[in-house]
């Protein structure tokens, strides 16, 4: 009789405990799935952000490389122009020296009229 009484009292408690345990397990599984979804979304957002900034960095590096190449081309063109001007000035100086050497030396002191004209051609 005591066992029957205990069984009648304990049965609803055992069923209630089983229901609470099942509900707790169900909540735990739900939270685990939601946490996994959050982790997946976070990983996707991080990958997307990294891809965006990698593309931005590559675009910036490409623009920088283009500016460097343009500047190098301009520098080389300026250097070539300067080299051409120097060659022209040196050729003109050689020509003036030849013209000066061709002038007669009268043994006079100072500059003659023809030599002054050569200086004015410079």
pLDDT of residue 102: 81
Decide if 106 is inside a domain.
Answer: no
Decide if 107 is inside a domain.
Answer: no
The pTM (predicted TM-score) of the whole model is 0.53
* Whether pLDDT at 106 is above 80: no
Decide if 67 is inside a domain.
Answer: yes
Rounded Cα gap, residues 75 and 79, in angstroms: 6
Over 42-78, what HEC string results? HHHHHHHHHHHHHHHHHHHHHHHHHHHHHHHHHHHHH
pLDDT of residue 55: 98
Rounded Cα gap, residues 87 and 81, in angstroms: 10
* Whether pLDDT at 117 is above 90: no
Decide if 28 is inside a domain.
Answer: yes
Helix axes 2-102, 113-121, angle to 10 degrees: 160
More confident residue, 6 or 38: 38
Taking CA atoms, 71 is separated from 58, 62, 77, in Å, by 20, 14, 10
Q: Which domain holds residue 88?
A: 9-40+47-99+116-120
pLDDT of residue 110: 66
Decide if 21 is inside a domain.
Answer: yes
């Amino acid at each position: 009789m005591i066992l029957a009484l205990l069984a009648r009292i304990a049965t609803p408690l055992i069923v209630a405990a089983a229901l609470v345990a099942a509900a707790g397990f169900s909540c735990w599984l739900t939270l685990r799935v939601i946490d996994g979804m959050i982790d997946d979304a976070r990983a996707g957002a991080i990958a997307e952000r990294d891809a965006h900034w990698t593309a931005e960095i590559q675009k910036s590096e490409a623009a920088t490389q283009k500016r460097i190449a343009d500047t190098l081309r301009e520098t080389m063109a300026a250097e070539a122009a300067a080299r051409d001007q120097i060659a022209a000035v040196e050729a003109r100086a050689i020509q003036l020296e030849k013209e000066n050497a061709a002038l007669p030396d009268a043994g006079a002191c100072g500059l003659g009229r023809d030599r002054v004209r050569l200086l004015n051609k410079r």
